[in-house]
């Protein structure tokens, strides 16, 4: 069985409302993006831009989540 691609995991993190699951989904998306960036496959400029946008959004989501917990 193949692993979900980074886009699927990123979108799942954005749509997660359960605080307990949110951290897991953010972590899974980060790991999938890292796997994609370290593959020996060409990454088009468009995909690279989408990855950069996803990383920025995950960072903001993490920051907002942490702000909500007073950390």
Q: Is residue 1 part of a domain?
A: no
How many beta carbons lie within 10 A of that of residue 58, not counting itself? 20
The pLDDT assigned to 2 comes to 65
| DSSP label at residue 70 | T
Look up the pTM and report it. Answer: 0.87
Tens of pLDDT, residue by residue over 5-56, are 999 999 999 999 998 899 999 999 999 999 999 999 999 999 999 999 999 9
CA distances from residue 71 to 23, 61, 62, 63, 65 in whole angstroms, order as listed: 14, 14, 11, 9, 9
Q: Is residue 49 part of a domain?
A: yes
Q: Structural domain of residue 32, as residue ranges?
A: 6-68
- Count: domains in the chain: 1
Q: Is residue 50 part of a domain?
A: yes
């Amino acid at each position: 069985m193949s692993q979900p691609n980074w886009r699927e995991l990123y979108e799942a993190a954005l749509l997660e409302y359960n605080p307990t699951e949110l951290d897991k989904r953010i972590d899974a998306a980060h790991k999938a993006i890292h796997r994609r960036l370290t593959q020996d496959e060409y990454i088009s400029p468009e995909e690279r831009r989408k990855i950069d946008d996803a990383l920025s959004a995950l960072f903001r989501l993490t920051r907002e989540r942490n702000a909500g917990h007073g950390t």
